């Protein structure tokens, strides 16, 4: 009781700054970390018919405390690894090339926006973000209307005499990539813009004065200084793109089985929430471990550089 | 001013009436009820109905499996209902509380009960078949007189599929509605649970695979109507929707649907009450209302599926009743079969065969 009183008396000491940090942390803990822990937990359970459709991992029964831990879901993934490896590769390939195409389009666009006058910058940025204000599903359906054999592009091409027969654009890699780039492009433009707008124009002028050519300025100044934007934008595009389910499902053909669809099948068709969770956890590990490792290496190198001591000495 | 006040008062009174008898939360397939059914029920009973829709059994099942869905009446397909019953998701249905249950077609209801191995799961709302829809002109152009428009072979024979590939061939993305029919095409019983036969069916599909435009459950309706595809394995009602849309658009495409002579699976969509439903009395009132002959007939005339309600047939549009694709002849009915509910192990086999087929690996 006295502890509580002291705690309450202490409350005004909670500064606004702490609150500002605590709120997003609580948010992340509740809506990001807890679901992740739940997914990890479900990946070690046994499926059953019931609510929920898996046996609880631990609990108190008639015989007291019990646990119900199995690694069988991961063993199943190993046993049928070829059924999961192909789709995983397809997804990573799709995400990788989507990221590359996004980067190729976004880099000059972001540069152009960053070098515009202040008034135009706002207008152009709003135009980049405008698509987010409509449902992505509606935009994809509009795309289907454009690309269909009876769609606008084919009709226009036929009318102008550019083509003799409708081109098959839907249900191909082409339509998937158009959908991916259209959906994810803003996520690449914004971080690039953020670093480019802070880039000091005097540096470019100085380099030009000292006789550097355009490509040289790009290679020695612009590119190194915009790398943080490239990394941030690429991660923002790549990570959600790997798990993308809707775009390949709506725009793609049946031959490109993606990880999103495999997860869907495990979850909805096999009703095997544990195996679906195991796939999600494994995919997460495969994608995040290299990134964390790279950052860790990066941090070590920087730390060594600063202290000018060998790594072993740490 | 006076008029506004009067209208406001009527509004207050009417909303008061709506809450007086409580609420009812319904979760049904999209486009699966006549446009005025819910409004009429509200007007008659004063019950405040919330009506939500889904477009796949899987979505419904996941929502119900998670628990506390908040719905009082849902319409799963019989095999999904049977699994839900084993999980304890759905309550026993007390037929003594439904006076109009006497209108039900006892034969159809018995088939559904047999499939579910369950007498108290729910009432058949609508039932249908899986078959082949095709574009009359485009098939005739490519296959001529001998087009087998009475057999699964129109699509499942690679020679035919190859000739149709340029005008577009599609298959439903629904393993349990396609694989049993491929097994029937092979001359084996479609209601089998033999894993080996499902592997054989997968082999047949893999040979057709290179000639397919896509494998998808809802895209074919529009594409068939627009002439973007010319032959597809489809659910009966979807095929008729495509035919109706083509006719409305006057684009010259004539879409036909047939039940292949090798036989096909019958499926049943069931009215069922979740075990945790809060407004059970209202759910029974609604089921009783839906079981009235005139209400059931009105729904059929809108959605073009066969009703589980026999008394409704007197009021159903004669064109629908006479349609062999909706109300099959006694001859055709002999070839219809009902698939059993698969266990988890067979589910895995079925879905693995299906994944390999869809991804072409």
Q: A267: nearest CA in chain B?
A: B62
B333, part of any domain: no
**Cβ-count burial A41-60 (b if 16+ within 10 Å, e if not):** bbbbbebbbebebbeebeee
- Specify if B195 maps to a domain: yes
CB nearest B212 (choices: A254, A256, A262): A254
Helices B280-290, B37-45: inter-axial angle, 10-degree rounding: 120
Q: Which domain holds residue B91?
A: 2-121+267-326
- pLDDT for residue A1: 54
Any residues with CB less than 8 A from the CB of B293 and at least 6 apart, and which? B100, B103, B309, B311, B312, B314, B315
- Determine the residue among A35, A53, A54 to mutate to test chain B binding: the one whose Cβ has the most chain B Cβ atoms within 10 Å: A53
Does residue B237 sit in helix, strand or coil? helix
Of B67, B47, B22, B120, the C-alpha closest to B276 is: B67
Q: Which of A277, A288, A235, A239 is nearest to A91 (CA)?
A: A239
Is residue B219 in some structural domain?
yes
Tell whether the model's pLDDT for residue B16 goes beyond 80: no
Q: Which residues in chain A touch residue B56, judged by CB atoms under 8 angstroms apart? A: 268
Same domain, B75 and B173: no
Residue pLDDT, tens place only, B271-285 = 999 999 999 999 999
User: Do B81 and B121 form a contact (C-beta atoms < 8 A)?
Assistant: yes
- DSSP assignment of chain A, as one string? -HHHHHHHHHGGGS-HHHHHHHHHHHHHIIIIIHHHHHHHHHTTS-B-SSSSSB--SEEEETTEEEE----HHHHHHHHTHHHHHHHHHHHHHHHHHHHHHHHHHHHHHHHHHHTS-HHHHHHHHHHHHGGGGS-HHHHHHHHHHHHSTTSHHHHHHHHHTS-SS----TTSHHHHHHHHHHHHHHHHHHHHHHHHHHS-HHHHHHHHHTT--HHHHIIIIIHHHHHHHHHHHHHHHHHHHHT--HHHHHHS-TT---HHHHHHIIIIIS--HHHHHHHHHHHHHHHHHHHHHHHHHHHHHHHHHHHT--GGG-
pLDDT at B358: 86
Strands B169-171 and B214-215: parallel
* CB-CB neighbors (< 8 A) of A171 in chain B: 213-214
Which of A248, A271, A275, A277 best probes binding to B when mutated, by most B CB atoms within 10 angstroms? Answer: A271
pLDDT at residue B9 is higher than 70:
no
- CA dist., res. A50 & res. A48, Å (int): 6
Report CA torsion sign: A160, A162, A167, A172. negative
Average confidence (pLDDT) over B13-22:
48
Is the pLDDT reported for residue B17 higher than 60? Answer: no
Position B4 scores a pLDDT of 46
Q: What is the pLDDT of residue A4?
A: 58
| Cα B272 from Cα B73, distance rounded (Å) | 6
Residue numbers in A near B226 (CB within 8 A): 148, 150
Looking at the fold, whether B173 and B259 belong to one and the same domain comes out as yes
User: A310: which 2 tokens?
Assistant: 């060998």
- B356 interaction partners in chain A (CB closer than 8 Å): 83
Domain count, chain B: 2
Same domain, yes or no: B59 and B135: no
Rounded to an integer, the average pLDDT of B33-37 is 94
Tell the residue number behind the tokens 């948010």, with chain if given.
Answer: A27
Region of poorest pLDDT, from B22-31, B59-68, B269-278: B59-68
CATH of the domain at B170: 3.40.190.10
The average pLDDT across B102-109 equals 96
Here the tokens at position B110 are: 């018995």
pTM assigned to the model: 0.77
Task: State yes or no: pLDDT of B327 exceeds 60.
Answer: yes
| Structural domain includes residue B180 | yes
Angstrom distance (rounded) from CA B239 to CA B13: 45
Confirm whether B253 is domain-assigned: yes
Same domain, B15 and B147: no
Quick one: tokens of A71?
A: 């690694």
Q: Which of B56, B87, B361 sits opposite A50 (nearest CB)?
A: B87
A106 CA: distance to closest CA in chain B (Å): 32
Tokens of A101: 């195409």
B86 to A49: CB separation less than 8 angstroms, yes or no: yes
Domain boundary assignment for chain A: 80-271
CA angle B321, B238, B71 (to 5 degrees): 95
CA dihedral A152, A183, A131, A133 (to 10 degrees): 130
Q: Which of residues 156-175 of A touch B (CB under 8 A)?
A: 171
Residue of B347, B351, B360 with shortest CB distance to A255: B360
Between chains, do B359 and A255 touch, taking CB under 8 Å as contact? yes
Average pLDDT across chain B, whole number: 91
Are B34 and B301 in contact by the 8 Å Cβ rule? The answer is: yes
In-domain check, residue B211: yes
Q: pLDDT of chain A along its 314 residues, tens only?
A: 555 556 555 555 556 778 888 888 898 888 889 999 999 999 999 988 888 889 888 888 888 888 889 999 999 999 989 889 989 999 999 999 999 999 999 999 999 999 999 999 999 999 999 888 888 889 999 999 999 888 899 999 999 999 888 888 888 889 999 999 999 999 999 999 999 999 988 999 999 999 889 899 999 999 999 999 999 999 999 989 998 989 988 888 767 788 988 998 898 888 899 999 999 999 889 888 888 887 787 766 555 554 444 444 43
Query: Tokens at residue B133, please?
Result: 């829809």
Q: Which one of A255, A262, A273 would you mutate to disrupt binding with B, by most B Cβ within 10 Å of its Cβ?
A: A255
The alpha carbon of residue B71 and the mean position of all alpha carbons in its chain are separated, in whole angstroms, by: 20
Q: Give the tens place of pLDDT for each residue, A23-78.
A: 888 988 888 899 999 999 999 999 888 888 898 888 888 888 888 899 999 999 99
Strand B264-271 relative to strand B123-135, pairing: antiparallel
**Contact A254/B88, CB-based, under 8 Å?**
no
Q: Does domain A80-271 have CATH number 2.40.160.10?
A: no
- Average pLDDT score over chain A: 86
- A52 to B360: CB separation less than 8 angstroms, yes or no: no
Residues B320 and B245 in one domain: no
Residue among A12, A32, A35 nearest A24 (CA): A32
Long-range contacts of A278-286 (CB under 8 A, 24+ apart): A278/A43, A278/A73, A278/A74, A278/A76, A278/A77, A279/A77, A279/A84, A280/A39, A280/A43, A281/A39, A281/A40, A281/A43, A282/A74, A282/A77, A283/A88, A283/A242, A283/A243, A283/A259, A284/A36, A286/A88
Q: Establish if B189 belongs to a structural domain.
A: yes
Q: Cβ atoms within 10 A of the Cβ of B50, count?
A: 13
A vs B, Cβ pairs < 8 A, gives: 75
Q: Which two tokens stand for residue B84?
A: 């839900």
d(CA B52, CA B73): 11
| Alpha-carbon span B216 to B127, nearest angstrom | 21
Residue with tokens 């490792």: A293
Task: Give, as one character, the DSSP assignment of residue B341.
Answer: P
Are A86 and B359 in contact (CB < 8 Å)? yes
Q: Are residues B251 and B109 in the same domain?
A: no
| Residues A164, B53: Cα–Cα separation, whole Å | 42
Which pLDDT score is estimated for A12?
55
Please give the helix or strand (H or E) that residue B135 lies within, else none: strand B123-135
Asked if A83 and B355 come within 8 Å (Cβ–Cβ), the reply is yes
């Amino acid at each position: 009781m006295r502890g509580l009183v002291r705690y309450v008396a202490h409350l005004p000491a909670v500064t606004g700054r702490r609150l500002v940090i605590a709120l997003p942390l609580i948010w992340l803990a509740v809506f990001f970390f807890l679901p992740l822990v739940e997914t990890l937990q479900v990946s070690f359970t046994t499926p059953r018919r019931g609510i929920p459709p898996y046996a609880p991992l631990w609990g108190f029964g008639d015989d007291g405390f019990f646990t119900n831990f199995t690694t069988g879901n991961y063993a199943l993934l190993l046993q049928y690894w070829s059924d999961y490896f192909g789709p995983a590769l397809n997804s990573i390939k799709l995400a990788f090339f989507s990221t590359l195409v996004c980067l190729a389009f976004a880099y000059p666009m972001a540069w152009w926006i960053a070098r515009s006058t202040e008034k135009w910058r706002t207008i152009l940025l709003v135009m980049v973000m405008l698509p987010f204000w409509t449902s992505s599903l509606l935009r994809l359906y509009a795309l289907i209307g454009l690309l269909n054999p009876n769609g606008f592009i084919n009709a226009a091409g036929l009318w102008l005499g550019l083509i003799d027969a409708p081109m098959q654009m839907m249900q191909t890699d082409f339509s998937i990539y158009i959908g991916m780039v259209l959906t994810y492009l803003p996520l690449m433009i914004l971080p690039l813009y953020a670093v480019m707008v802070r880039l000091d124009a005097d540096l470019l002028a100085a380099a030009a004065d000292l006789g550097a050519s355009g490509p040289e300025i790009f290679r020695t100044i612009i590119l190194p200084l915009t790398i943080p934007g490239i990394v941030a934008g690429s991660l923002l595009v790549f990570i959600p793109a790997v798990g993308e389910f809707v775009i390949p499902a709506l725009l793609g053909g049946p031959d490109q089985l993606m990880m999103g669809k495999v997860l869907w099948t495990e979850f909805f068709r096999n009703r095997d929430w544990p195996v679906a969770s195991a796939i999600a956890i494994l995919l997460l590990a495969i994608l995040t471990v290299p990134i964390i490792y790279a950052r860790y290496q990066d941090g070590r190198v920087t730390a060594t550089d600063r202290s000018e001591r060998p790594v072993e000495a740490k | 001013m006076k008029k506004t006040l009067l209208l406001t008062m009527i509004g207050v009174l009417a909303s008061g009436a709506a809450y007086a008898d409580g609420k009812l939360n319904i979760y049904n397939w999209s486009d699966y009820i006549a446009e005025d059914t819910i409004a009429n029920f509200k007007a008659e009973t004063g019950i405040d109905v919330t009506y939500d829709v889904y477009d796949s059994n899987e979505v419904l099942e996941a929502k119900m499996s998670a628990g506390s869905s908040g719905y009082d009446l849902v319409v799963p397909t019989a095999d999904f209902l049977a699994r839900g019953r084993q999980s304890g998701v759905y309550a026993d249905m007390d037929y003594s509380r439904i006076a109009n249950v006497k209108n039900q077609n006892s034969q159809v209801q018995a088939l559904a009960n047999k499939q579910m191995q369950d007498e108290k799961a729910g009432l058949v709302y609508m039932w249908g078949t899986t078959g082949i829809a095709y574009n009359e002109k485009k098939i005739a152009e490519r296959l001529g007189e001998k087009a087998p428009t009475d057999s699964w072979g129109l699509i499942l024979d690679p020679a035919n599929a190859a000739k149709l590939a340029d005008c577009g061939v599609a298959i439903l993305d629904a393993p349990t509605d396609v694989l049993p029919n491929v097994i029937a095409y092979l001359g084996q019983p479609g209601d089998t649970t033999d894993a080996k036969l499902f592997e054989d069916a997968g082999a047949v599909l893999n040979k057709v695979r290179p000639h397919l435009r896509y494998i998808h459950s809802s895209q074919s309706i529009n594409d068939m109507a627009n002439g973007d595809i010319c032959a597809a394995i489809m659910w009966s009602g979807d095929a008729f929707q495509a035919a109706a849309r083509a006719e409305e658009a006057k684009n010259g495409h004539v879409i036909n649907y047939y039940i292949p002579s090798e036989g096909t699976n019958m499926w049943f969509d069931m009215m069922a009450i979740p075990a945790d439903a809060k407004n059970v009395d209202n759910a029974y009132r609604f089921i009783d209302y839906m079981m009235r002959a005139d209400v059931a007939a009105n729904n059929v005339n809108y959605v073009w599926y066969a009703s589980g309600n026999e008394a409704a047939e007197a009021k159903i549009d004669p064109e629908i009743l006479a349609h062999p694709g909706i109300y099959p002849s006694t001859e055709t009915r002999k070839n219809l079969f009902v698939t059993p509910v698969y266990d988890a192990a067979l589910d895995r086999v079925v879905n693995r065969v299906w994944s390999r087929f869809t991804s072409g690996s």
